[in-house]
Structure 1
Amino acid sequence: MTLDVAALRAHFPSLASGIAHFDGPGGTQTPASVGEAIARTLTGPLSNRGTSVASERNADDTVRGFREAMADLLAADPRGVVYGRSATQLTYDFSRALAKTWAQGDEIVVSQLDHDGNVRPWVQAAEARGVRVRWLRLNPDTAELDLSDLDEIVNDRTRVVAVAAASNLLGTIPPVAVIAARAHAVGALVYVDGVHYAAHASVDAAALGADLFVCSPYKFFGPHCAALVADTALLESLHPDKLLPSTDAVPERFELGTLPYEMMAGVTAAVDFIAALGDAGGSRREQLVAANRLIDEHELALRQQIETGLADLGATLHSRASERTPTLFFTLAGRDAAEASRFLASRDVLAPAGSFYAYEPFRALGLPVDSGMRVGVAAYSNDDDADRLLDGLAAFLGR
């Protein structure tokens, strides 16, 4: 089987705009079924969770459906699924909950590969607790993490290792399982930012070695929110600040205030939409795995097509890792990235320039922040989109 991209695109009303979207790493377009699920939930009988009337039961069923859907997507336990407004918010919350357990002499480890949302919360929490921060360094020549000193960086003083499953700037997929094995050998926890990874891979959080794994459904056709999965025993051991009357049950103790049921319904619809693409039998998890195989094959072919075109145009491609997502970061010698992005936008080709909150990768690459362009392929991207991108860049360069 191959992915029927034309049929898939028909589910996305926004694509009728004619825009060629390469901004998927910042957030994908949304299928009609997701919007309909949100509207149906919000406008149907809906109250705070309970069991007495239909409106209460609808809310309760929606929360349960969300947890089950994310558990299927990430090969996790529904009882360990935490809802959040964003991955950054969840990381701030959990960094502070974990920091309560740190003492002077402890260390944490962060990565130069990561979005700042998986760096600054940990650095700031460490500063507040007087804990040392160690770094996994990015090799700019390979766009991969240098793990030659992993055993020295991750040691018996390490309490948490925070690392991305994939770089939102470079697409690099680091060997998280290797890093996690070292962390677990010294008794440290592993917090994995899977925001970019979950949009381009079948995720098995436990197989990665993630004690806590966070992702954002709006990167894979859902609404703007996030989810974190962890073992329930770990969640039971953490005590976030919360209101006195609010439940101490897991995972609800981490979800502050009334939940946005309509957003949760949208997430479930997004997971179901992906599962249906596989056109396979079996459980929803099995359908998701089958769908991701088709999506990966399609996205890889488009990535290779764009890479070849960029090389022909003389662009410098900084996405060089052997294992990576269909996301490409490149610079154009002597030309301004923002100007190139504006030129493409005038042709309805959205290929952003900016920092993309990847502050540390820019520093490691020795590049000024905002100096390059990032193009990301999604399941709905097609050959025509790729041609328009490359033709637009050629026109901008006067080729």
Structure 2
Amino acid sequence: MTLDVHALRAHFPALASGVAHFDGPGGTQTPAVVGQAIAETLTGPLSNRGDRTVSERNADESVTAFRSAYADLLGVPPEGIVFGRSATQLTYDFSHHLSRDWGPGDEVVVTRLDHDANVRPWTQAAERAGATVRWIELDPATGELALDDLESLFGERTRVVALTAASNLLGTRPPVRRIADLAHRAGALVYVDAVHHAAHSTVDTRALGADFLVCSPYKFLGPHCAVLAADPALLETVRADKLAPATDVVPERFEYGTLPYEVLAGATAAVDFLASLAPDRTGARRDRLVAAYQVIEEHELALRQRLEDGLAALGPRVTVHSRAPERTPTVFVTFPGHRSQDVSRHLVTRDVHAPAGSFYAHEAFAALDLEDEGGLRAGLAPYTTAEEVDRLLAALGEYLGG
């Protein structure tokens, strides 16, 4: 079964503007049901969590429903789901939690492919502790991690290996499980940034070999927030600073202050909306999510091929940097002789939104060694159409000449 993209788009009020949105890697547009869930939770009876009044029960239900939804999405028990304001915030929090016992001689491993949110928290924590940072390098010619000498990076003092499941800049999907198995053999924990990955494919935290995994619902049709998934038994071993009267129960011990119940409700609605895209809407939600992502991937990869064929037709006027065999429907390009920001501005005049920049992929962008201060990133989403891809290509051809 193929995705009925035109029926899907009817759920997104923002798409009525006529703008073709290729900015999904920075945050997708949102279906009406997500906004409705936020509004109904916020304006309905709502208090702090409890079980005596309707308002208390509503708050408690928003939390339990959120944990259940993201347990289904990410493949962990509900008790292993931690809410956060952003993936950056969660990663900084857990870098503090995990590094409290590090010292000189300990090591952390990070990659040149990652968003800086999965680099800087770890390198800064290592610096504070006097630990050593080791790097998995990026080959700019292929857009892939250089893994030839991988085993030499891990030793008995390796504490954490942090890596992405999919690059937000290039779309590259590195072999996470292969790297995780080597890290676990050395006794290290594996922290996976699945922010870009979760927008395009089913996430199975255990299958990836991730001890900790983060994602952001606003990358896949939800509100601005983030989620960390882990085995509850592992979370029990992680100490966190907290207020004296605050609970020490997992996962609540990692969630500071009163939770934004309305945001949790919106994030839950996003998962349910994704599950509704499954060809068969019966059965367990996890099964429906897996089926829905299969349909989404088929749609997005077909459009990626259409986009890449069109870019190839533009010849040397476009340089495509997304080259890895395994990658998401996200394409990063530059234009010899033109500034990417100028190209992006021209696209806006044609109602096409494809932003330019380095998108916080600080190390990856530096490894590409480009003359431009940024590049154009075109990200496909479930609501993207073939006509929008053609409009993007036509606008590029118009600007570049011919």
TM bucket, shorter chain: over 0.9
1:225 corresponds to: 225
How far off is 1:367 after superposition?
Answer: 1.9
Partner SS for 2:276: helix
Q: Paired residue for 2:381, among 378, 382, 386?
A: 378
CA distance in 1 between partners of 2:380 and 2:342 (Å) = 21
Structure 1 segments (4+ residues) deviating >6 Å: none
How far off is 1:371 after superposition?
Answer: 2.5
How far off is 1:157 after superposition?
Answer: 1.5
Partner SS for 2:304: helix
2:249 corresponds to: 249
**Greater shift in the superposed pair: 165-174 or 277-286:** 277-286
Contact 1:154/1:183 (8 A) holds in 2: yes
Partner SS for 1:108: strand
Contact 1:354/1:369 (8 A) holds in 2: no
Partner SS for 1:57: helix
Structure 1 residue 163 corresponds to structure 2 residue 163: yes
Query: What per-residue deviation string (whole Å, max 9, x for no partner) do you get for residues 31-55 of structure 1?
Result: 0000000000000010000001110
2:340 corresponds to: 337
| Residue identity matched to 2:285 | R
**Greater shift in the superposed pair: 104-113 or 306-315:** 306-315
| Residue identity matched to 2:244 | L
Q: How does 1:68-107 map to 2 (within 5 A)?
A: 68-107=68-107
Q: How does 1:211-360 map to 2 (within 5 A)?
A: 211-280=211-280, 281-314=282-315, 315-360=318-363
CA distance in 2 between partners of 1:370 and 1:42 (Å) = 42
Contact 1:91/1:117 (8 A) holds in 2: yes
CA distance in 1 between partners of 2:385 and 2:31 (Å) = 16
CA distance in 1 between partners of 2:230 and 2:207 (Å) = 13
Contact 2:340/2:372 (8 A) holds in 1: no
How far off is 1:119 after superposition?
Answer: 0.3
2:27 corresponds to: 27
Query: What per-residue deviation string (whole Å, max 9, x for no partner) do you get for residues 252-293 of structure 1?
Result: 010000000000000110000000001312100000000001
TM-score normalised to the size of structure 2? 0.98
CA distance in 2 between partners of 1:58 and 1:121 (Å) = 35
1:176 corresponds to: 176
How far off is 1:329 after superposition?
Answer: 0.3
Contact 1:362/1:368 (8 A) holds in 2: no
Stretches of structure 2 that go unaligned for 5 or more consecutive residues are none
How far off is 1:221 after superposition?
Answer: 0.2
Partner SS for 1:191: strand
State the Cα RMSD in Å: 0.8
CA distance in 2 between partners of 1:269 and 1:74 (Å) = 15
| Residue identity matched to 1:236 | E
Query: What per-residue deviation string (whole Å, max 9, x for no partner) do you get for residues 317-364 of structure 1?
Result: 100001000000011111110000000011110010011001100111
Stretches of structure 1 that go unaligned for 5 or more consecutive residues are none
| Residue identity matched to 1:115 | H
**Greater shift in the superposed pair: 117-126 or 368-377:** 368-377
CA distance in 2 between partners of 1:261 and 1:101 (Å) = 34
CA distance in 2 between partners of 1:182 and 1:321 (Å) = 22
Contact 1:353/1:370 (8 A) holds in 2: no
Q: How does 1:43-58 map to 2 (within 5 A)?
A: 43-58=43-58
Contact 2:235/2:251 (8 A) holds in 1: yes
Q: Paired residue for 1:391, among 394, 398, 401?
A: 394
| Residue identity matched to 2:385 | N
Partner SS for 1:277: coil
